[in-house]
Amino acid sequence: MADKQVKDYDKFNLRFPDGMREAIAERAKRNGRSMNSEIIQILQDAIEGSSELSKRLNLVGFIRGDREIRDLEDNASKLALYIDHRTQEFKQILLEDLKLLLNHD
């Protein structure tokens, strides 16, 4: 920014609602900046903040999705154990029935 002369910057006129000019002037004074610099800082914070918010929301979605995948994996493991247990029970019943049939003859 320091390389350009003030006349080289893009200019944009604003109409402030009642009280906003004073609020910005007070904020600029507290932060040791001109009103222009304060407005630029507010705009930069808003632009960077929306990008940061987007990144955080994506991360939350990723974490949530990862958690859901782990839950599905846990459920799949439980289901596999249940199926294995029931299969073993079924095999045992079949073997006992076969023994009974073979001994019956």
Which residues fall within 8 angstroms of residue 31, CB to CB, at 6 or more apart? 38, 41
What pLDDT digit, counting tens, does each position of 32-72 carry?
Answer: 999 999 999 988 888 877 677 777 777 777 777 777 777 88
- Secondary structure class of 17 (helix, strand, coil): coil
pTM, entire model: 0.45
What is the pLDDT averaged over residues 82-86? 92
How many Cβ atoms from other residues are within 10 Å of residue 38's Cβ?
Answer: 19
Backbone angles phi, psi at 39, to 5 degrees: -65, -45
pLDDT of residue 2: 58
